[in-house]
Structure 1
Amino acid sequence: MEDIKNQLQDGVKNLKEMLGPLQKYVTPTSALVGLGAGLTVYWLVKRNKYKLPPGPTPMPLLGNYSLLNARDFQDQCMELSKKYGPVITIYMSTIPIVVVNTIEAATEVLVKSKADFANRPEVTSATFFSDGGKDIAMAQYTPTWKLHRKIAGSALRTYLKGRKLEEAIHGSLTQLIELFDEKQGEAFSPNTHVDHAMLNIIYALCFSKVYKFNDPKFKNFMKVESDLIESFGSGFLEDLFPILIKIWPSKRFLKCADLANQLFDVLLGELKEHRNTFDEGNIRDFTDALILAKMEAENDEDTELLSQLTDVHLKQTLSDIFFAGLDTSRFTLQWFLLYVAAYPEIQKKAQKEIDNAVGRDRLPGLDDRPSMPYTEAVLHEVMRVATVAPVGLPHAARVDAKLYGFDVPKGTTIMINQWALHNDPRHWNEPAKFDPERYLDSDGNLGPKPISWLPFSAGRRVCLGESVAKAELHVMCAILLQQYDIMIPPGETADFTPDVSGIAGYTAGSYKIVVKKRI
């Protein structure tokens, strides 16, 4: 991407020299129009060179703009696959994007093709916000990335499990229970309370710190983080014209950059504090475990690779774990509360299971998880019907590849439509129905993972924190059902209208519930 930026800058410089005295007549608008016309011609030539998967006809220069910005993007792609096949091509301006809509095609991309599709798109905004690709989530599939992920995985296994994970959950949920107790009998939106609980768990695990609900730092952190998600949307004009970042960045891009820097400053400050107080004999949290894992790797790994793992890399790793764990978990828990409130008979069945496995004298813990398969099945069904990341993180082809007989040129973006996978009638009986029983065998135990259930992706880019997230959410859901009857307010019906939908995510709206303490 840096090479492309340099080429564009050199091209603009050469163009100005060629135009000479005509420069004063060339406006930014006319330059963009000219560039657009050139890109359209280039696109038409390139498009005919490859046999890309079929798809809806794009508009010149604009591509399939309306589809990419649709709130029901995932649904439209699923419908288009009925006409064009499981793999379709859409265009962001002149840039092709391959969308995969079945588990069979997704397995080909994520698993069977090994690392052929393991890269990430070279997106200008992603490169900018990851400090030039120094994170794990959006970095390219390289030896440095593999070592970086190995170090992060080692830290996760060392710290984010067992007793310390359970302590963080119980500590945070104790505060949440106090807040819910104050709301008994009152209709309220639980979203802010859920945000507080999830932030405290992540903060405790990463930095050994917790916030009180009314702490101004907590409120400011969540506001900045929510504003960033809302402002980020589905991408920037700068992703189509990278040179704009240097010469003419949009107000929205500048706003996102400022918000991201505020969050990064918090993480970098915590990392520096941990470096200054690090004690190898007292690993306090994930940040310490990350520092320790890097130190241990320095003893037996390639020193040239390790020299590329700076504090900026570790800050980006913290960002990946912190925000991926915070956002996907809080959005899932918000949907969970809505669904159990809307389906009281399912809620009662889960509560009976929890009472039999745990009782009322203590909070459910990680060791109780095998004894509560129905509760876990409810959570799995929430992850299916309310897929919080409908198309996940995009992949990119590392080489010129083939998929279902079609060309996928090197660098092409590939999106896995997880929403389509989770609503495929070939694999789900009555997919619109909320039915936890579909995950259980005839004895009421959890059966094998359904073939088309993929909330954490798969293959080389599988979610690094999958095991932690599933255990964490299961315990949290069990605690809330143990403590409360959760209901839709009297006279109202459950509103499943999402607040955000499409490429940007799928989040619950500001619904209200009523809670009653179980005695």
Structure 2
Amino acid sequence: MENLKDQLEDGFQHLKEMLEPMQKYVTPTSALVGLGAGLTVYWLIKRNKYKLPPGPTPLPLLGNYSLLASSNLMADCEKLTEKFGPVFTMYMGTMPMVVVNTIETATDVLVKSKADFADRFQSASVEMFSDGGKDIAFSNYTDTWKLHRKIAGSALRTYLKGNQLEEAIHGSMSKIIKLFDDTKGEPVVPHTFIDLGVFNILCAFCFQKVYNVDDPKFKHLVDVDNQLLAIFGSGFIEDLIPVLAKIWPSKRFTKATQLSAELFQFIEEELLEHRQSFDDGFQRDFTDTLIQARVQAENEEDTNLLSQLTDVHLKQTLIDIFFAGIDTTRFTLQWFFLYIAANPKVQKQAQMEIDEAVGRDRLPGLDDRPAMPYTEAVLHETMRIATVAPFGLAHAARIDTKLCGYDIPKGTTVMINHWALHNDPRHWKDPKTFDPKRFLDSDGNLGPKPVSWLPFSAGRRVCLGESIAKPELHLICAILLHQFDIMLPPGVIPDYKTDLCGIIGYNVGEYKVIVKKRL
């Protein structure tokens, strides 16, 4: 991740360039000084008005840029609890961000406070990517959000009732099995194969389509998605000074806008194609379910409902389900491959369980899941030790409220440090050790959900895709272990380096494994 200090310096250089045409009236330096002074005064007034949680001392205007620039932000935030307690405040520029680092406080925010913290962090980049908050993931807690959440949730439940999910996974994994077979036991970077498998499952769910690994559209979309994640992970000067996004966006913000437009175009084309071939009596996939909701509103001439089901709203809901589902799933599986290769005893025990439950003559199915608790525990432990969304999606206070006795003004950003929850030594013995047994009871069955395990969040903004992600991930992992031995190349020590880190995500860098067909 680029150093945030460099990002801020680039941003202020951008400001200086923007003000150069005005230099006959005022020098760029004096304008910047004036702007900085004004923002600093505003920041000090607002900061002293409320009793916010304590935190590391921020610099005027720049905030805690050195902390935010850390490549291990979630661990650094966890360490700060020793000095400031389970909740503290850091600043992105002049904007306070309250960080929650324990399950007890997270439960207060997500569950006990009901909807007090159910809004989302709003910024120039979020507004750009969500078409002004018309999606599910980033929009505030409104009636429109509730409607789209209800429609999407209903579609997911309908999908899970039949055998469509299993068929989609089996169809996608058949391609992946062949690709790994073709490696002939040679070391391979598994990322592209994983990306294709997950991409096709979501394509089948949303659009009833599948792609090959050499398909130009598949390659391009994954590349665009990766580029966009990297750019978002580095932050934008426009999120500190939102007016820049409208009057003079930086090159990075412009690039992010262009990349987003490419993803939007892909979704818009699929939506248009589905609308043209839509059959009211036969819903093929998730996209048809969304169109059906709009058709019903049209038939009922419900103008209020139609205003909440525009093409932009439908597009944004599809983007949430499709790309959010792809990214969290593929990053989890990339970590799974590395941890399972680095822990051969764990792998062997899971394979024995799968063989006993399924045999060797067919692929595992969704109905086999209850008979494979150890395999599920391996997945859960992967999701704990490699928390792919370390801060989840940032919340915001809907009203002036309290947390741990401190003031949380309306609109204040609140982030849950899921990584800290998953590494809290009060709840996890030897948290740095990969140990699936921690999720099992004394009889070897899957035990109750551990208190401090929260990969899908909780409360009103709990992950919409949790109900489909759990069986999907379990079945993918079971199929891979059923079909292959996954090993590190001889003499290779596992390298748990990351590509993205900080607020946006936590995914593993490229590594090689040997994927050998089991007999």
TM-score by length of 1: 0.94
For residues 250 and 397 of structure 1, what CA distance do their matches in structure 2 show? Answer: 29
Task: Tell me what 1:13 maps to.
Answer: none
Q: Percent identity?
A: 69
1:96 aligns with 2:96: yes
Q: Give the counterpart letter for 2:121 in structure 1.
A: P
Paired with 1:358 and 1:255, the residues of 2 have a C-alpha distance of 48
Question: Is the contact made by 2:233 and 2:500 (CA closer than 8 Å) also made in structure 1?
Answer: no
Query: In structure 1, what is the equivalent of residue 19 of structure 2?
Result: none
Number of the residue aligned with 2:218: 218
Q: Secondary structure at the match of 2:402?
A: strand
The gaps in structure 1 that reach 5 residues or longer are 1-21
Structure 2 distance, partners of 1:263, 1:231, is 15
Give the equivalent residue in structure 2 for 1:501.
Answer: 501
Mapping 1:77-226, distance limit 5 Å = 77-160=77-160, 162-226=162-226
In structure 2, what residue type is equivalent to 1:249? P
- Tell me if structure 1 keeps the 8 A contact 2:487–2:515: yes
Q: Secondary structure at the match of 2:188?
A: coil
Note closer, same or farther for the CA distance 1:173–1:456 as it changes in structure 2 (3 Å cut). Answer: same
Contact 2:457 2:463 in 1 (8 A): yes
Contact 1:160 1:205 in 2 (8 A): no
Residue in structure 1 matched with residue 35 of structure 2 by the alignment:
35
Write the deviation string for residues 38-80 of structure 1: whole angstroms up to 9, x where unpaired. 1101111111111100111111111100111211110010000
Say whether the 8 Å CA contact 2:422–2:452 is kept in structure 1.
yes
Segments of 4+ moved more than 4 angstroms? 296-303
Give 1:137's aligned amino acid: A
Match of 1:14 in 2: none
Match of 1:517 in 2: 517
Q: CA RMSD in A?
A: 1.5
Offset from partner CA, 1:72-122 (integer Å, 9 cap, x none)? 110010000111000000001111100000000000000000000000122
Give matches, 1:44-443, under 5 Å: 44-160=44-160, 162-296=162-296, 303-443=303-443
CA deviations 1:242-285 (Å, max 9, x no partner) are: 11112221100000100110010010110011011111222111
1:12 equivalent in structure 2: none
Gaps of at least 5 residues in structure 2 are 1-21
Q: Would you say how many aligned residue pairs link Structure 1 and Structure 2?
A: 498
Find the aligned partners of 1:236 and 1:138 in 2 and give their Cα distance: 17
Distance in 1 of aligned mates of 2:404 and 2:505: 28
Cα 1:316/1:366, change in 2 over 3 Å: same
Greater mean alpha carbon deviation, residues 280-289 or residues 104-113? 280-289
Q: Which residue matches 2:12?
A: none
Whole-angstrom distance in 1 between the partners of 2:60 and 2:42: 11
Q: 1:509 to 1:148 in 2, by over 3 A?
A: same
* C-alpha distance in structure 2 between counterparts of 1:369 and 1:32, whole Å: 60
TM-score, normalization: structure 2? Answer: 0.94
C-alpha distance in 2 between matches for 1:499 and 1:31: 38
Q: 1:299 to 1:230 in 2, by over 3 A?
A: same
- For 1:158 and 1:368, locate their aligned partners in 2 and report how far apart those are by CA, in whole Å: 20
Partner Cα distance (1:301, 1:400) in 2: 38
Look up the match of 2:455: 455
Q: What is the CA–CA distance in structure 2 between the aligned matches of 1:313 and 1:257, rounded to whole Å?
A: 18
CA contact (8 A) 2:233 2:502 kept: no
Q: Is the 8 A contact 1:395 1:414 kept in 2?
A: yes
